Every structure is written in structure tokens, then in C-alpha cells.
Amino acid sequence: MAAIKFVYFDLGNVLLNFSHDRMIDQVAAVCGVTSNVVQQYMFDNDLENRYETGELNSVQFHAEFCGLIQKDCNLNDFLTACGDIFWLNEPTIPAISQLAQLNLRMGILSNTCEAHWDFAMKRFQALSQIFPVRVTSFEARSMKPDCGIYQVAIEQAGVSPGEIFFTDDKPENVQAAQDAGIDAVLFTSANQLLRDLAKRGVAVG
């Protein structure tokens, strides 16, 4: 097993918790429609996926959604409603702080859209300091578990795939990372994460 030189974390449900239900309800309130309408036009078709893979930017996403619901809602209010869905995954914070003290290079590898990412970076500004490398699906034009985003992540890390450790809460994303040669594990808890890293020679505390 190669020595770990870089660690990638998934964003949602690893570093930050989030709620799509909150997003749906907030967008419904801003746009004056029911939550079922938002679910139908944003998530039950490919609109959100097109946004998360960068096919649509925020202005285009807003315009297309407004066209689908045949209503006009304020762009800034709409993007805030889409983005304000995160809160800290509190148990993970001590583990991240301990890893940061090791001067281990770390990054974020996330399926996310522009509105979510912009809001998270503004609300949780420490993320940009702790994780200088950020690979997002909307910028990479590829979404986990597609292989393309992992190749971007490997290039951004600047080390061989086997020297990269990655944790994600979805088994299919972990498997795809392993298929790309990355040392990946399923995230279940902060303590489990530290145990997995210790097995690889990255010990804290």
C-alpha cells in the first residue's frame, strides 16, 4: 500500500450535512408554487443534474426553471433558496482539525452545483483555507461516479492515484474511485475515518 500524500473528502454528508427537502420548500416559497411542483421540475427530470454537471450556469438554471413553472421569481432569492441548505457535520470537525495539523494536503471532491458551492464557501469560509484543492462536478463537467471527475481529481492532486485517499458516503462513488486507482473508503463516521487513515499510516492524536 502506497503512502498517503493527499486526502479528498466528499462535501455533502461528510463535511457538511444538507437537505434537498429544505431546498425544495425554500424554492417553492420564493417562486409561489407547491413543493411538489419544484420536485417535479427540478429533480424528477434532468434539470438539477444538468446544473450539477455544468451544462447550465446559475442564470440558465433559473431561467429554465422559471420557464417550466411559467412564473418569474427573483434570481438572487432563487439562488439563495437553492443554496442555503447546509449545516456543519459537527462530529467531523475535530478529525479535520487534527489532520490539518499534520500539514497533510487535503481537498474536496464533490457533486455540487454553482449555487450550492457558492453558498457553502461563503457560509463556511474555513473550507477554502483547509481544502485548497476543490474539484466540483459543475466545473469538471463530470459527476461522480463517472470516471471523468476522478481523473480531474488525480490531476489536481498532483500525485499518483494510489497515493490519494478519498472518503464518500455513497458506495457507488467509492467503488468508482477505487476503479480509478484511488484508495477510497465509505464514510460512516469521523471515528471510522480516523481508523481507516491510521491503518494507512496517517495517525492523529
Output the CA torsion 173→177→178→179 (10° steps). 100
Phi-psi region of 57 (alpha: psi -120 to 50; beta: other; left: phi over 0): beta
Q: Which fold has domain 20-83?
A: DNA polymerase; domain 1 (1.10.150)
Q: Where are the alpha helices (DSSP H) in the chain?
A: 20-31, 35-38, 47-52, 58-69, 75-83, 92-100, 114-123, 126-130, 137-140, 147-157, 171-179, 190-199
Return the closest-CA partner of residue 136 out of 67, 35, 44, 53. 53
Q: What's the pLDDT at 205? A: 64
pTM over 0.75: yes
Phi-psi region of 85 (alpha: psi -120 to 50; beta: other; left: phi over 0): alpha
Here the cell at position 97 is 482539525
CA angle 5, 86, 117 (to 5 degrees): 60
Return the closest-CA partner of residue 187 out of 18, 20, 12. 12
CA-CA distance, 26 to 48, in Å (whole number)?
15
Q: Which residue numbers in the chain have pLDDT < 70?
A: 205
Q: List the domain boundaries for the chain.
A: 6-17+86-199, 20-83
CA angle 108, 178, 55 (to 5 degrees): 50
Tens of pLDDT along 90-118?
A: 999 999 999 989 988 999 999 999 999 99
Q: What's the pLDDT at 103? A: 85
Q: What residue type is assigned to position 21 of the chain? A: D
Q: Which fold has domain 6-17+86-199?
A: Rossmann fold (3.40.50)
CA-CA distance, 15 to 17, in Å (whole number)?
7
CA-CA distance, 38 to 24, in Å (whole number)?
6
